[in-house]
């Protein structure tokens, strides 16, 4: 079973920030938080990951709480192309990725 | 630089048959993982191959087997197909030098079992 809990769906207006929450209360000390997304009919795509510090790259920002039991993925300016299923995953640096059901994000004009 | 490629794109089989799916990893990658994604669900880990050996396996029966070749490409074999094996089969690869678990996924093979 996946080690994370995410809301099943959320809507976001184009141009606004999308904030995707994730709970991972059983995360181990050596596990990272990863975010992937899957656009319809494609394979999943890596977005970002973090251990305990906040992270930012060209796609998104990741905010991890101090106790590491939850995190938030932020898409700063959502576009229609960001419509996808977003998966929050906890994993070590080598092993399998355990996907849950993810959050279906729909960006509307 | 080609990414992860998979063949065939689509496949239709009948119950009891056997199937072989193929995957070529991204250039420079030596580790290949296979995932099964049923309709409306997240991908489920089947197994991972590194240095031509299965190094990690998910909760799948022995009907699912694999192989990795010296050029790092990989095959997934499924015997005695069941209707429940109908799914999108995804292959993912990663580089050995990466310090984190970024896996690159192919477009998948859609298997339909009738």
Banded pLDDT at B23 (limits 50, 70, 90): very high
Q: Is the pLDDT reported for residue A2 higher than 70?
A: no
In 3D space, the residue among A36, A47, A50, A14 whose CA is nearest the CA of residue A103 turns out to be A36
> For residues A93 and A91, which has the higher predicted lDDT (pLDDT)?
A91
Determine phi and psi for B112, rounding to 5 degrees: -115, 125
| CA angle centred on B104, ends A37 and A59, rounded to 5° | 45
Residue whose tokens read 């995410």 = A6
Q: Is the pLDDT reported for residue A1 higher than 70?
A: no
CB contact under 8 A, B101 and A92: yes
Among chain B residues, the shortest Cα distance to A87 is held by: B42
Q: CA B114 to CA B111: how far, in whole Å?
A: 10
Q: Chain A window 1-20: which residues touch B at a Cβ cutoff of 8 Å?
A: 2
CB contact under 8 A, B43 and A92: no
Banded pLDDT at B15 (limits 50, 70, 90): very high
H/E element, B77: strand B74-78
């Amino acid at each position: 079973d996946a080690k994370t809990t995410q809301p099943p769906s959320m809507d976001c207006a184009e141009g606004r920030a999308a904030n995707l929450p994730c709970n991972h209360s059983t995360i181990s000390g050596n596990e990272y938080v990863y975010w992937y997304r899957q656009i319809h009919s494609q394979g999943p795509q890596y977005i970002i990951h973090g251990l305990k510090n906040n992270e930012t790259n060209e796609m998104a920002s990741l905010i991890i709480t101090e106790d590491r039991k939850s995190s938030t993925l932020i898409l700063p300016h959502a576009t229609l192309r960001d419509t996808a299923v977003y998966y929050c995953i906890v994993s070590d640096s080598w092993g399998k990725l355990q996907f849950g059901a993810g959050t279906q994000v729909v960006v509307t004009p | 630089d080609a990414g992860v490629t998979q063949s065939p794109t689509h496949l239709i089989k009948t119950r009891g048959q056997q199937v072989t799916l193929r995957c070529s990893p991204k250039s420079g990658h030596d580790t290949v993982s296979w995932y099964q994604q049923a309709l409306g669900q997240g991908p489920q880990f089947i197994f991972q191959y590194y240095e031509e050996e299965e190094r990690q396996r998910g909760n799948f029966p022995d009907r699912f087997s694999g192989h990795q070749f010296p050029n790092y490409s990989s095959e997934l074999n499924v015997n005695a197909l069941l209707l429940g094996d109908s799914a999108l089969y995804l292959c993912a690869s990663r580089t050995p030098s990466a310090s984190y678990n970024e896996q690159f996924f192919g477009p998948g093979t859609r298997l339909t079992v009738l």
